[in-house]
Chain A
Amino acid sequence: MRTDIILSGVGGQGILSIATIIGAAAIKEGLYIKQAEVHGMSQRGGDVQSNLRISSEPIASDLIPLGKADLIISLEPMEALRYLPYLRKEGWLITNTVPFVNIPNYPEETGLMDRIHSLSHSVSIDVDSIARSVASPRAANIVLLGAASPFLGIEVEKIEESIRTVFGRKGEAVVEMNQKAFRAGLEIAEQSIKK
């Protein structure tokens, strides 16, 4: 197997936690992994992305070439589209629909959503309100992870186990909250795939 993923969002939204959970699951499965992150100045409310590659064969580059990403997982709709040239034509784009507006020239929301829906494979969900209703606003990134989990090439159960591994030391309540968020995202993705 091989899955190349671009994770994107705005600094502070929690894309690195998503990467950590997928990474932990991949290692448990004995897969190869490379993950390039962004640290430093660009984290201050700017656009951030991470390249995450998991594979049963050794991986050469830390960076995903143009047109080779199987998945874009984004916590913000405009940030999802920023990396479009990296997405395979048959790849999936999974994104939060809630804009993070911290710039004066943020584009029209409907235009962004139209563009996302025009792709052959996309899942777009309001992870913020789902997180609020089933768990906590802080778990928005885990709702998105749930929505992306059927596309990762790792069994969904293994990802769920990984949530326990990563959040385990923060106590049972945090683990449960995140598992709830994860399952809520997963259900929505499954509905989208059926459509």
Chain B
Amino acid sequence: MGEKQLLLGDEAVALGAIHAGLSGVYAYPGTPSTEITEFIQNHPLAVERKIHSNWSSNEKTAMESALGMSYMGKRAMVCMKHVGMNVAADAFVNSAMTGTNGGLIVVVADDPSMHSSQNEQDSRFYGKFAMIPIFEPSSQQEAYRMMADAFDLSERYKVPVLMRMVTRMAHSRAVVKTGTIRDMNPMSYPSNPGDWVLMPAVARKRNVHLITMQQDFLEESEKSMYNKMEDGADTSLGIIACGIVYNYLMEHFKEGCPYPVLKVAQYPLPVKAIRQLAKRCDSLLVLEDGQPVVEEMIRGVLEQGIVVKGRLTGEVPRTGELTPDNIVAALGLKNEEVYPACELVVPRPPALCQGCGHRDMYGALNEVLREYENGRVFSDIGCYTLGFLPPYRAIHSVVDMGASITMAKGAADAGQFPSVAVIGDSTFTHSGMTGLLDAVNEQSNITILISDNLTTGMTGGQDSAGTGRLESICRGIGVKPEHIRVVVPLPKNMEEMKNMIREEINYQGVSVIIPRRECIQTARRHNKK
């Protein structure tokens, strides 16, 4: 007990959960959340306690499994990146309606500035939408400690609790002092079994119950140790700093901030404290990472006519993550004179690895599509998204997990030919299979390439749910066996691959080509072992 460890924010969440008596984590890999589950998979105490930590097929199945574990009285956690929340949303929102039995924490890692994502959505909206408490740590130490408190809060009110991370918190290391290690919960059935059946009559009752608890959640926030008011003599400005942005603020004031500061790390927003701050100060500045959630909320909360500055008013940037540098002007400070950016430096975008099978797949596909006037390639989320960049410039859309197959179908419905989908093996089992069923049911004229590298590559090589069974899955869904074709994507097989793609494009109906070769990153690791 009281050990000191250097931990990523993600790892602090994981260790906090293990020490708080976690029985199972459920997740689909997604940057910047992946390391939480990986840490638990490798932690000796988690192994000893047999804490569930296998990967799920997608965020929705993960969310539902975690809710099932909570139903049995055990403490469960589900982890995802922010866009994963869109996939899990049905289960997530309704888990607040059923309520929980064992503590349930939903950890969502947002990605402001979109370091590895397609949007900047802010999960605090989801927490408010589902009407549940939210934690947003400002340090790795807080992240660790919050897990125990969030589980307790969840069990006190029998609701799920949202833990909101951002990339910088997830992927930054600091020393964490660990606390006591709690036992895991014994199995126990819910004391309110009828509440778990969300038929309208039950759901109406649950809705009222959830709404009644809002006052309790607010009081929890008002007295939370994570929300703290720090006094400052200069009341021309009052600052509300949320989560990690509190650190960027304090970076400028080593001896203490001259303005009063309210640090917010637990929601619902501590309304009393905000009203107090507004009463004392001439104006308010809201510093928050992600979208202007708090700024919008307090505009509606305040009784006094006070100037509120933030992302909406332009004092801080409207988009992108906040940094110590881009809040300087809002604080009335000046950036020091620094070296100008070096004009010789050019962008160095990420690229597919040398020797990667996706390269050979795109090489063949590009050559075949040149034979047609207007080929369109709908792609998906994974390393092969990089096929958009030179030298391949091979794809025309990337939207969300699984959208390649269904968009190709919709385009074919509209008359597009050739209509090609490119999807990875893990993305296919995440959200591509149901779309394939739609295509099969209508015999859509599409050609699907499932570029199978036997792993979830982009997030670092986690297990892929359908490995070894892709052909049988496609057969089971109803693709004709003679139009499910496998090839090894290597330069020497280029002609074979091209012929296969050409034949299947010319076949009127659904065909699946599986270029299959292990990810060279995971292959390298396997060879070392």
Q: Is the CB of A85 within 8 A of B35?
A: no
Q: Is the CB of B344 within 8 A of A111?
A: yes
A117 within 8 A of partner (CB): no
Instruction: Find residues 127-186 in chain B having any chain A CB closer than 8 Å to their own CB.
Output: 168-169, 171-175
Q: Contacts of B31 on A, CB cut-off 8 Å?
A: 39-41
The residue of chain A having its C-beta at the shortest distance from the C-beta of B8 within the complex is A37
Count residues of chain A with CB under 8 A from any CB of chain B. Answer: 49
The residue of chain A having its C-beta at the shortest distance from the C-beta of B459 within the complex is A40
A177 within 8 A of partner (CB): no
Stretch from B346-354, B359-367, B416-424, B447-455 at the A interface? B346-354
A36 to B341, CA, bound (A): 21
B299 within 8 A of partner (CB): no
B116 within 8 A of partner (CB): yes
Q: Contacts of A78 on B, CB cut-off 8 Å?
A: 344-346, 348
A115 to B175, CA, bound (A): 37
Q: Is the CB of B336 within 8 A of A67?
A: yes
B21 within 8 A of partner (CB): no
A42 to B386, CA, bound (A): 11
Q: Is the CB of A39 within 8 A of B171?
A: yes
Within the complex, what minimum Cβ distance (angstroms) separates B416 from chain A? 29
Within the complex, what minimum Cβ distance (angstroms) separates B442 from chain A? 34
Q: Is the CB of B383 within 8 A of A66?
A: no
Q: Is the CB of A45 within 8 A of B173?
A: no
Q: Is the CB of A47 within 8 A of B341?
A: no
Q: Mark B330-343, 1 if CB is under 8 A from A, else 0.
A: 00000111111110
The residue of chain B having its C-beta at the shortest distance from the C-beta of A27 within the complex is B6
Q: Is the CB of A86 within 8 A of B338?
A: yes
The residue of chain A having its C-beta at the shortest distance from the C-beta of B4 within the complex is A27
Q: Is the CB of A37 within 8 A of B336?
A: no
Q: Mark A50-61, 1 if CB is under 8 A from B, else 0.
A: 000000000111
The residue of chain A having its C-beta at the shortest distance from the C-beta of B169 within the complex is A62
Q: Is the CB of A38 within 8 A of B325?
A: no
Q: Is the CB of B351 within 8 A of A44?
A: yes
Q: Mark A101-128, 1 if CB is under 8 A from B, else 0.
A: 0111111100110010000000000000
Instruction: Find residues 69-109 in chain A having any chain B CB closer than 8 Å to their own CB.
Output: 78-79, 81-82, 84-87, 89, 102-108
Within the complex, what minimum Cβ distance (angstroms) separates B510 from chain A? 30
A151 within 8 A of partner (CB): no
Q: Contacts of B323 on A, CB cut-off 8 Å?
A: 63, 65
A112 to B338, CA, bound (A): 19
A163 within 8 A of partner (CB): no
Q: Contacts of A34 on B, CB cut-off 8 Å?
A: 172-174
Instruction: Find residues 15-45 in chain A having any chain B CB closer than 8 Å to their own CB.
Output: 23-24, 27, 32-45
A27 to B324, CA, bound (A): 25
Provided the pairs A39-B35, A60-B250, A61-B251 are in contact, do residues A102 and B351 lie with their beta carbons within 8 angstroms? yes
B283 within 8 A of partner (CB): no
Q: Is the CB of A63 within 8 A of B248?
A: yes
The listed residue with most B CB atoms (<10 A of its CB), out of A62, A84, A103, is: A62
Q: Is the CB of A42 within 8 A of B350?
A: yes
A150 within 8 A of partner (CB): no
B244 within 8 A of partner (CB): yes
B115 within 8 A of partner (CB): yes
The residue of chain A having its C-beta at the shortest distance from the C-beta of B246 within the complex is A60
Provided the pairs A40-B31, A40-B458, A67-B335 are in contact, do residues A35 and B350 lie with their beta carbons within 8 angstroms? no
Q: Is the CB of A46 within 8 A of B8?
A: no
Q: Contacts of B102 on A, CB cut-off 8 Å?
A: none
A165 to B494, CA, bound (A): 48
Q: Contacts of B169 on A, CB cut-off 8 Å?
A: 62
Provided the pairs A44-B352, A67-B337 are in contact, do residues A61 and B247 lie with their beta carbons within 8 angstroms? yes
The residue of chain A having its C-beta at the shortest distance from the C-beta of B328 within the complex is A65
Within the complex, what minimum Cβ distance (angstroms) separates B420 from chain A? 23
Q: Contacts of B244 on A, CB cut-off 8 Å?
A: 62
Q: Mark B26-59, 1 if CB is under 8 A from A, else 0.
A: 0000011011000000000000000000000000
Within the complex, what minimum Cβ distance (angstroms) separates B519 from chain A? 12
Q: Is the CB of B346 within 8 A of A105?
A: yes
A22 to B8, CA, bound (A): 16
One of A24, A46, A112 near B350 (C-beta < 8 A):
A46
A11 within 8 A of partner (CB): yes
Q: Contacts of B339 on A, CB cut-off 8 Å?
A: 67, 84-85, 87, 89
Instruction: Find residues 246-303 in chain B having any chain A CB closer than 8 Å to their own CB.
Output: 247-251, 254
Q: Is the CB of A62 within 8 A of B386?
A: no
A10 within 8 A of partner (CB): yes
Q: Contacts of A10 on B, CB cut-off 8 Å?
A: 348
Q: Is the CB of B175 within 8 A of A32?
A: yes
Can you identify 20 A-B contacts, CB atoms within 8 angstroms? A11-B350, A34-B173, A35-B173, A35-B174, A38-B115, A43-B350, A44-B350, A44-B458, A45-B350, A46-B348, A46-B351, A47-B347, A65-B323, A67-B339, A78-B344, A81-B344, A82-B345, A85-B340, A89-B339, A115-B342
With contacts A44-B386, A45-B348, A78-B345 known, what are 16 further pairs, Cβ within 8 A? A23-B6, A33-B174, A33-B175, A34-B172, A39-B32, A40-B32, A40-B116, A40-B458, A42-B115, A46-B350, A46-B351, A61-B250, A66-B325, A66-B338, A67-B339, A85-B340
Interface residues of A (CB under 8 A from B): 10-11, 23-24, 27, 32-47, 59-67, 78-79, 81-82, 84-87, 89, 102-108, 111-112, 115
